[in-house]
Structures are given as C-alpha cells and as structure tokens.
C-alpha cells in the first residue's frame, strides 16, 4: 500500500505494533528514498495507518490487497490471508469499490476473491489483478517510474479508476497495459520464471567460465550489450550473493523484514543445471519447478 499522488492513503494491518510504529513516524522497512517520501506524506496528512479495516475502507474508492501469500508445503501460494480479507470486505462494503489484488497469486485468484466478496456483498464491486514488479533496493524508483504497469480487469468502470490512479506515474510514455485478470496474474508468474531462467542460464555460463578460465563479467557484458538480451538483466547469480542476484532484476527474496523466510533466489539457485542437462521430454516437469520457485515473489 503506498502513497499515490493526489490521494489520501490509509494502510490497514493486523499487526498493532507495526501500525503504532508507522503512526509514530518509524518506517519499518528499509528502501532507499522511502523514509523521505513517507515522512513528507505523513506530515502533510495524506498517509495513515490503522488496524480498523471497516473504518479505513468506508470512503475508499480503491482497496489494494497487499497481503502475504506464503508458499505451502507443495510450493503453491497459500491464499488464506487474501480470501479471509475478501470475506470480510464482502460484509462491510456499502458502496461500489474497486478491489485490487497486488499480492503475487496463482492464476484464477481474482475469480476466487470475487466469489468470496460476492458471498456477502450487497453492493456492486470489481476485482482487479495488478501484479507488482518492484525490485528490492530500488522499489521507490521502480514504483515512481515503472517500466510498465499491468492491470487485469474486464470492467470498464474499474479500468477508469486504475487509469486515473496510475496516470501520474506513466507520463513519460511508459505504458499501462490492460488485459483480463488471468492474463495479468500469469504475466507476473511468466516474468518471474523468465528472469529465473536467465539467472539459471548465467549460472551455467559462470560454471563454464570457471572451468575454462574465462571471465564471466566480460561474457555478461558481451552478451548484455545485445538489445535482444538486455544489459540490466544479463547478470550472473553464480556468486550466490543476494546483491548480485538483485542486480539481475529478479527480486531475490523480500525486504529486510522477511529475511528469515526462504527466498525465491535461494530456491532458484537450488535448481540443478536446468538448461544444460534437461532433455526436452523432461522440460514440463522442470518448468513446473521453475514456476514453483517464482511463487512468492
């Protein structure tokens, strides 16, 4: 949940301790540029924190769900937090709302959220899928100047709300890409899988470099200057360093506050020799594993 130009933002969390800290001006995570932005908007009365969901959403036009989706034992995302809040929202919304899913969720979640709200809702609403592509360490910049904004909705009304919300951040011509809900959900998984594949590929190249006494940084620069591959993302994760991995554009792990959780990056690194060893008939099974690694980004 974030400050959006020209909007009042009320953030709701069940963690009272976190809410108290935030209300007293303490930022609970570190991201370059975040504290300044946070304090300015708090001082100017546009940013509030509370544990009271019903009160917070009373006048909200757009409700953004940024709830945890921890991986279950089989690696699939656990939707209990999202569906729990969707259930609550159905009971308390009293006028049209756009309810935006920003968590990373499996394809079909928008439908489930819609059904959970609909069970009790007495007013119209739309559920929108709006996946997040921020990179750890440059999240504020990525939000202010996104490469693109992906919005999944088939409702014209919701589309207009979302367009107004993001308009200030796409003035430099970076696109808002509208699509249906499922395509938006899949875009996030596909992007994560693609970036994970690139990291796996560069790991393979780094291994080869070690064996052949070649310089992986030079190889990376050599292939990265090809526009079809992209300088920013052709990076090796071979050093097993979170920092280097983050440079690749694949957000390895979450913010500092979640560093005890197993990170995607670690799981990506545990995939053995994906591109080099696999035979075509094994690809589907392996592809499933790559997708699983992307679940919690």
Ligand X SMILES: NC(=O)c1ccc[n+]([C@@H]2O[C@H](COP(=O)([O-])OP(=O)(O)OC[C@H]3O[C@@H](n4cnc5c(N)ncnc54)[C@H](O)[C@@H]3O)[C@@H](O)[C@H]2O)c1
When binding is defined by CB under 6 A, the residue of 258, 278, 287, 291 that contacts ligand X is 258
Backbone angles phi, psi at 45, to 5 degrees: 75, 25
- Per the CB < 8 A criterion, the answer to whether 229 and 267 are in contact is no
CB of 134 to ligand X, least distance (A): 5
Span interacting with ligand X, options 107-115, 152-160, 221-229, 250-258, rule CB under 6 A: 250-258
How many other CB atoms are found less than 10 A from the CB of residue 86? 26
Three-state SS sequence of 62-73: EEEECCCCCECC
When binding is defined by CB under 6 A, the residue of 22, 60, 67, 184 that contacts ligand X is 67
* Short-list 204, 235, 199, 232, CA closest to 218: 235
Contact status: 191 vs ligand X (CB under 6 A)? no
Question: Is the Cα dihedral 223, 281, 188, 181 positive or negative?
Answer: positive
Q: Which is nearer to ligand X, 189 or 238 (CB)?
A: 189
Q: Which is nearer to ligand X, 9 or 223 (CB)?
A: 9
Q: Which is nearer to ligand X, 126 or 264 (CB)?
A: 264
CA atoms in the 13 A half-sphere facing the CB of 152: 23
Contact status: 185 vs ligand X (CB under 6 A)? no
Terminal-residue alpha carbon distance, the chain: 16
CB of 59 to ligand X, least distance (A): 18
Contact status: 255 vs ligand X (CB under 6 A)? yes
Contact status: 52 vs ligand X (CB under 6 A)? no
Give the interface with ligand X as residue ranges (CB under 6 A): 12-15, 18, 66-69, 81, 84-85, 103-104, 132, 134, 136, 251, 254-255, 257-258, 296-297
């Amino acid at each position: 949940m974030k400050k959006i130009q020209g909007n009042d933002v009320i953030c709701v969390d069940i963690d009272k301790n976190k809410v108290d800290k935030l209300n007293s001006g303490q930022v609970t995570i570190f991201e370059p540029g975040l504290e300044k932005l946070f304090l300015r908007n708090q001082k100017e009365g546009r940013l509030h924190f509370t544990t009271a969901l019903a009160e917070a959403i009373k006048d909200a036009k757009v409700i953004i769900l940024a709830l945890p989706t921890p991986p279950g034992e089989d690696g699939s995302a656990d939707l209990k937090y999202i569906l729990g809040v969707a259930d609550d929202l159905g009971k308390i919304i009293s006028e049209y709302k756009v309810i935006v899913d920003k968590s990373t969720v499996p394809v079909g979640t928008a439908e489930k959220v819609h059904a959970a709200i609909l069970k009790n809702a007495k007013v119209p609403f739309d559920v929108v899928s709006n996946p997040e592509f921020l990179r750890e360490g440059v999240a504020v910049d990525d939000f202010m100047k996104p490469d693109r904004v992906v919005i999944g909705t088939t409702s014209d009304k919701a589309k207009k709300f979302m367009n107004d919300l993001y308009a200030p951040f796409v003035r430099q011509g970076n696109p808002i890409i509208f699509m249906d809900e499922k395509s938006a959900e899949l875009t996030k998984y596909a992007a994560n899988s693609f970036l994970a594949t690139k990291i796996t590929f560069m790991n393979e190249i780094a291994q080869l470099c070690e064996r052949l006494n070649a310089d992986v940084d030079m190889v990376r620069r050599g292939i990265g200057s090809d526009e079809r591959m992209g300088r920013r993302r052709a990076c090796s994760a071979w050093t097993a360093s979170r920092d280097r991995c983050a440079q690749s554009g694949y957000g390895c792990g979450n913010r500092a506050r979640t560093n005890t959780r197993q990170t995607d990056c670690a799981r990506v690194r545990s995939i053995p020799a994906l591109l080099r060893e696999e035979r075509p008939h094994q690809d589907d099974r392996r592809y499933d594993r790559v997708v699983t690694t992307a679940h919690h980004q």
